[in-house]
Amino acid sequence: MSMLIEVWGDYACFTRPEMKTERVSYDMITPSAARGLVEAIYWHPGLRYTVDRIYLLKPFGLDPEDEASTEEYTQRPIQFTNIRRNEVKSTLLSSAALSAAKGGTPPVLYTSEDIQQRAAMVLQDVHYVIECHFDLTDKAAPSDNPGKFQDILRRRLRKGQCYYTPCFGCREFPANFREWPGGSIPALKVTQDLGFMLHSLDYSDSANIRSQFFRARLVDGVMECRDVEVFT
């Protein structure tokens, strides 16, 4: 069951894992971020989403002579901007939470000691269409079927319902969403090699969760995410 979901927002940060201290965003939304965004709208243990491709609806504001120049391009293209964000330098360990659940001292973070201001290079004025489909899992009930789940997802998209606010990488960057209204998606003459990008996380071994990467490419404004070669 394939779905087209339009998403847009003021800011986005899809953090590159190789940047340890300061956040630097990928040029495009990652497949894992796109799947998380859709799951925020509707999730059920009986289905599993797969992101097939992502359409770029606004070109990058890098080259004003680019062939993709449009009125929207010259007014509000997608571009990088720098902001400063408050983050904590410490993390709470799961072992500390488990100890607290057994009657130990609850873990705490002290704001005055742990808050730090860090720079972040984020995307501004993003606009995409996510094409995804779902498959039924072994946790689906006998009465579950693809048509039922598709109707629920479409109804939630139409009403703007979600389990929690979908976001573009960080919770303070909320995403607007709706079902693509129909018709062909406008093609942008943007072709670019985006380099290696995070594709997903492999949870097959819970004790050794591995990141999976793929060589991301934009071809006429479309990034293919399905049936691509992944690396761990």
- Cβ(209)–Cβ(85) below 8 Å: no
pLDDT of the chain, 232 residues: tens digit per residue: 789 999 999 999 999 988 877 899 999 999 999 999 999 999 999 999 999 999 999 887 755 444 445 555 545 678 899 999 888 888 878 888 888 888 888 888 887 788 888 899 999 999 999 999 999 999 988 888 999 999 999 999 999 999 999 999 999 999 999 999 988 888 888 889 999 999 998 888 888 888 999 999 999 999 999 989 998 8
How many Cβ atoms are within 10 Å of 188's Cβ, its own excluded? 21
CA–CA separation, 64 and 109 (whole Å): 47
CA–CA separation, 1 and 134 (whole Å): 6
Q: So what's the pLDDT on residue 16?
A: 93
Q: Can you give the pTM of this predicted structure?
A: 0.84
DSSP string, the chain: -EEEEEEEEEEE--B-TT--SSEEB-SS--HHHHHHHHHHH---TTEEEEEEEEEE-S-BTT-TT-TT--HHHHHS-BEEEEEEEEEES----HHHHHHHHTTSPPP---HHHHEEEEEEEEEEEEEEEEEEEEEE-TT--TT--HHHHHHHHHHHHHHT--SS--BSSSTTSB-EEEE--SSPPPPP---EEEEEEEEEEE-SSTTS-EEEEEEEEEETTEEE-SS--EE-
Enumerate domains of the chain plus CATH numbers. 3-85+122-231 (3.30.70.2660)
What pairing do the DSSP bridges indicate for beta strands 115-136 and 2-12?
antiparallel
Return the structure tokens found at 217.
Answer: 């490419």
